């Protein structure tokens, strides 16, 4: 049974659907963030913008995995990158949730802390400019906040992408 699960996960790791699902999920999250920012006037804090940056990287890596799925080592590197981005998303989501709930205390200013050569908040201010301090995230529905949704999404992404990565790695080692 475990062998069957690994085979299915390995097939999924080679599928364009896997990469497309990550690309579309990331784009949907970014569009939702913009909807909340511009339509509902919920301004983003520094943690929100950092989450957006990680989600953008997620979309870029998944796009690369979608485009170049012939080179096994590069695809494996893309799988590792997705797992690492998911890990970073868990950490940022935890900080966001902790700030909202009061179990994490930290300085949440208006600076992203990026180097001057990567001034993305100046290049794309409509997407990456910090506009408020941290403290809360908007309610999505039924009392569930954006921070809670991000936490669940990040954990699910990590578990799923880690499983896909392990199955791809096992298949590669088996075929070597």
CATH code, 48: 1.20.1550.10
Residue 171 within a domain: yes
The average confidence (pLDDT) of the chain is: 84
β-strand 144-145 against 139-141: which pairing, if any? antiparallel
Closest CA to 101 of 146, 71, 63: 146
pTM of the model: 0.86
**How many separate domains does the chain show?**
1
- pLDDT score for 61: 93
Flag whether 170 is in a domain: yes
pLDDT score at 1: 60
Higher pLDDT, 80 or 110: 80
Least confident of 23-37, 73-87, 99-113, 140-154: 99-113
Category of 135 on φ-ψ map: left (φ > 0), alpha (ψ -120 to 50) or beta: left
Residue 8 lies in a domain: no
Cβ atoms of 111 and 130 closer than 8 Å = yes
User: Which pLDDT does position 71 carry in this prediction?
Assistant: 72
Range of the domain at 171: 19-175
Q: Are 93 and 147 in contact (CB under 8 A)?
A: yes
Which pLDDT value is given to residue 72? Answer: 72
pLDDT at 28 exceeding the cut of 70: yes
Q: Is residue 35 part of a domain?
A: yes
């Amino acid at each position: 049974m475990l062998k069957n699960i690994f085979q299915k996960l390995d097939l999924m790791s080679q599928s364009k659907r896997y990469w497309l699902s990550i690309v579309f999920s990331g784009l949907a999250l970014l569009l939702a963030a913009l909807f909340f920012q511009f339509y509902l006037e919920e301004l983003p804090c520094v943690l929100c913008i950092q989450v957006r940056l990680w989600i953008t990287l997620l979309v870029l890596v998944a796009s690369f995995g979608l485009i170049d799925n012939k080179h096994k080592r590069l695809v494996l590197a893309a799988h590792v990158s997705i797992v690492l981005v998911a890990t970073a998303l868990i950490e940022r989501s935890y900080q966001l949730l902790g700030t909202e709930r009061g179990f994490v205390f930290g300085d949440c200013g208006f600076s992203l802390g990026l180097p001057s050569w990567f001034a993305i908040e100046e290049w794309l201010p409509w997407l990456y400019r910090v506009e408020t301090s941290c403290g809360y995230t908007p309610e999505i529905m039924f009392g569930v906040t954006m921070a809670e949704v991000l936490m669940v999404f990040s954990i699910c992404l990590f578990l799923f992408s880690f499983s896909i990565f392990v199955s791809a790695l096992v298949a590669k080692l088996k075929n070597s």
